[in-house]
Each structure stands twice: as structure tokens, then as C-alpha cells.
Amino acid sequence: MTIHRLNRLYELMKVHQLEALAINPGPTLSYLTGLGFHLMERPVVLLVAPPADPVLILPRLEMAKTSQARFSVQAFPYGDNPESWLEAFRLGVKAAGLDGKTVGVEPTRLRFLELQFLRDAAPRTRWVGGEDVLSALRIQKDEQEVNAMRIAVEIAQKALLETIQKVRIGMTEREVAGELTLQLLRAGSDGEFPFAPIVASGPNSANPHASPTDRKLQPGDLLVIDWGATHAGYISDLTRTFAVGDVQEEFQRIAAIVERANEAGRMAGMPGIPAGLVDAASRAVIESTGYGEFFIHRTGHGIGMEGHEPPYIFGENSLILAEGMAYTVEPGIYLPDRGGVRIEDNMVITANGSETLSSLPRQLLTIG
Ligand code: ZN
Ligand code: ZN
């Protein structure tokens, strides 16, 4: 399977006229090699420069991993003394035949640390952004990847159901987030969560990226919980909004509108249409009710090995959706200093439509 991915990468490099790629630890490196490395103070770089076999430059203590790679790599290990690292880069660059080529990198991943070694080892190389090739490589998920995401959704849903049974008026956002974190692990999430859960109550719920605080849940609050699990390297990313006790009528009204906007966005996805139409479908519902100015973010983002990856679901995105693309639909209405509602589900494009992976109720449920 991984060989197949490497061959696909070679094809994409040809199409995009990119001679080589330098990839450091992150989802793309794991996706290609099946190996997990952390970003640390010691650089790890995979050089993909056909026709040479891929080259891996890495700390000697990580060498054992290379036997698990699903295609053969030429490994260039280095020891503890940082002064010896450049030599490993020189040898690796030579083996890959990299010098003088146009080499793509992941702009949001590669650090000055790696670039400095690479530039010193390959001074005549032209460095360019390789994001077009790399996003095309990972954007359509295969069945195994979708199944991993399905399990990540199930784990997240189970954890939330356990958590909300324990939520009481007077608990702080931090306490709710702590319980949810525990329940995510209990339900089987990998320890590396896609992101720290958002638990935002009352006025805090009007901030889409709030962090849990010591604020206590009070009757009349809206409570936004945005959380996700990780399974086998794939993530889920869900949001549900709750009413704490009785809430004012306008909060109930915006919750019903967001629920309809969520449904419209979920129904819009199908192969062959621009991603922007999914955003337009959700946004039209909210705009028609006069709350358009309070929907302050794009409708969604791609998901897979990362919480944010292509396809991004915003109005101007002309990228054509295709089978296997996975993304969130997460419209919201945020009334400043009062409260907000967001409902987020995880979608995958199928052969003739789209499937919602998440199934928790979406209406405003009362807790506490
Ligand atoms: Zn989310
Ligand atoms: Zn999201």
C-alpha cells in the first residue's frame, strides 16, 4: 500500500514538474513511509528524488525504525555531536542527487533547522513550496483511512455521551474539559489528541476558539463543546451545543437556525461540485434569517491525519470535490458577549453524494 503511495507521489511530481521533495516529520512522512517521527531538536528529513531510492537522514538512535519502512530507503544516520550532522546531510544529498534540483518542501512544516542543513549540503538547489503536490497526494482518503476516521468519530461520540451525564450546573469549563479528556482516553482515543477540547460557556461560547476557563456553568448559558479523538493517526473533530437549564428564546432560535445550516451544508456535498458550494449552502440558511454577520468563519476544513488540511470549505474555493475527500461542516452563530452556537459534523464524499460520519443528536439539548 505504501509503495503505491510512493508511486502516486512520483506521478504527481511529474505532473507538477517537481524534481524532488524534502519532507520532515509530520502526517505526510507517516503517510508515505508508515513510520512515526517526532519533530525534535534533531532533524529528520526524507528526500524523495527519483530515480534514486528515497533517502532518510536521521539520528542514529532512530535507525531501528527504518527496517519497518514499507519501501527501501537509503539511511544516513548521525550521532550525538551536532557538528557531525552536516556530514550526514552531505552524504544524503549526494545519494539523492539533490544538488542543483528544484526541491519542494512543506511550507508549514519545514523549519529553519532543516533548511539550514539542506542549504549548506545542497547550495545550488532551488527551494519551492511543494504544497500542491502534497495536498493532492493525501486529499482523497482510501477505505482504510475512512474507516480509521469512522472509529475516531465513534470514540469521540462515546466520550461525549459519558461526559454529559456528569456535567452539572456549577462545574467549571476546565472541569468539564478534564472529564472529557479522561473519557476520550477511556473510550480508546490515542493519547495524541487532534486538539485540546474546547469547552466554552455563556459569553465565552461566542468565541469560536475559546480555551476552557474557571468560569462556572450557569443556568441560561449556552455551552459549546468542540472535541475530537485520534485513532491510528486519523482524527475526528465534532462540536455540539447545549443549553444549561432554561435559555432565552433567541438562543433557542439561533440553535434551530444553525441546525438547519448544518443540515444544508451536509446535504450539499457531492463529487463534481466546487467546495465553495458547501459553504454557500450553509451560509444561505443563516443569511436568510438575518444572522449572516454573526457567522464569522468558513463553514469547514478538511480532516484526516490533521485537524486542518485541504479541502477548505469557504465560499471562493473552486476545488472540485471528489470521492474520498473528507471535511467538516461546522456553521455557527456567535452573538458577541452573549453566547454562540456551533454544530460540527465530519463528512466524506462518496461515489454519488456524501456520508455524515457523526450521528450524535444536533438539536439543543438541555443539561444541568
Ligand atoms: Zn472542531
Ligand atoms: Zn473543525
The answer, yes or no, to whether residue 63 has pLDDT greater than 90, is yes
How far away, in angstroms, is 258 Cα from ligand 2 center?
Answer: 15
How far away, in angstroms, is 228 Cα from ligand 1 center?
Answer: 7
Give the pLDDT of residue 239.
98
How far away, in angstroms, is 156 Cα from ligand 2 center?
Answer: 13
Counting ligands in written order, the one closest to the CA of 328 is 2
CATH of domain 2-138: 3.40.350.10
How far away, in angstroms, is 129 Cα from ligand 1 center?
Answer: 27
How far away, in angstroms, is 305 Cα from ligand 2 center?
Answer: 13
Counting ligands in written order, the one closest to the CA of 200 is 1
Give the pLDDT of residue 130.
95
Taking residues 198-204, report their average pLDDT: 98
Neighbours of ion ligand 1 (CB under 5 A): 226, 237, 239, 344
Nearest residue to 106 (alpha-carbon basis) of 97, 94, 115: 115
The answer, yes or no, to whether residue 265 has pLDDT greater than 90, is yes
Alpha carbon distance 255, 312 (integer Å): 24
How far away, in angstroms, is 238 Cα from ligand 1 center?
Answer: 5
Band of pLDDT at residue 271, cut at 50, 70 and 90: very high
Q: Please give the grid coordinates belonging to residue 211.
A: 480555551
Band of pLDDT at residue 3, cut at 50, 70 and 90: low
Is 236 in contact with 194 (CB distance < 8 Å)? yes
Domain residue ranges of the chain, discontinuous segments joined by +? 2-138, 143-367
Q: Which residue has the cell 495524541?
A: 192
Is 38 in contact with 86 (CB distance < 8 Å)? no
Q: Buried b / exposed e across 113-123, counting CB within 10 Å, b at 16+?
A: bbbebbeebbe
Equal CATH topology for 2-138 and 143-367: no
Q: Which residue has the cell 450553509?
A: 282
Nearest residue to 199 (alpha-carbon basis) of 178, 220, 185: 178
How far away, in angstroms, is 344 Cα from ligand 1 center?
Answer: 6
How far away, in angstroms, is 345 Cα from ligand 1 center?
Answer: 9
Residue type, 272: G
How far away, in angstroms, is 334 Cα from ligand 2 center?
Answer: 16
User: Tens digits of per-residue pLDDT, 204-221?
Assistant: 999 999 999 999 999 999
How far away, in angstroms, is 245 Cα from ligand 1 center?
Answer: 24
How far away, in angstroms, is 42 Cα from ligand 2 center?
Answer: 31
How far away, in angstroms, is 280 Cα from ligand 2 center?
Answer: 17
Taking residues 234-253, report their average pLDDT: 98
Q: Which residue has the cell 458577549?
A: 337
Give the pLDDT of residue 223.
98
Give the pLDDT of residue 70.
85
The answer, yes or no, to whether residue 360 has pLDDT greater than 70, is yes
Taking residues 62-71, report their average pLDDT: 92
Counting ligands in written order, the one closest to the CA of 196 is 1
Give the pLDDT of residue 368.
81
Collapsing DSSP to helix, strand or coil, 216 comes out as strand
Give the pLDDT of residue 64.
93
Which residues, 6+ apart, have CB-to-CB distance to 178 below 8 Å?
A: none
User: Tens digits of per-residue pLDDT, 293-331?
Assistant: 999 999 999 999 998 899 999 999 999 999 999 999 999
Counting ligands in written order, the one closest to the CA of 209 is 1
Q: Phi and psi at residue 313, in whole multiples of 5°?
A: -100, 85
How far away, in angstroms, is 282 Cα from ligand 1 center?
Answer: 16
How far away, in angstroms, is 239 Cα from ligand 1 center?
Answer: 6
Give the pLDDT of residue 2.
57
How far away, in angstroms, is 163 Cα from ligand 2 center?
Answer: 20
Domain 143-367 architecture: Alpha-Beta Complex (3.90)
Q: Based on the number of CB atoms within 10 Å of its own CB, is 62 exposed (0-12), middle (13-18) or buried (19 or more)?
A: middle
Taking residues 263-267, report their average pLDDT: 98
pTM of the prediction?
0.93
How far away, in angstroms, is 198 Cα from ligand 1 center?
Answer: 8
What is the CB neighbour count within 10 angstroms for residue 66? 16
User: Tens digits of per-residue pLDDT, 97-144?
Assistant: 999 999 999 999 999 999 999 999 999 999 999 999 999 999 999 999
Taking residues 156-177, report their average pLDDT: 98
Taking residues 153-175, report their average pLDDT: 98
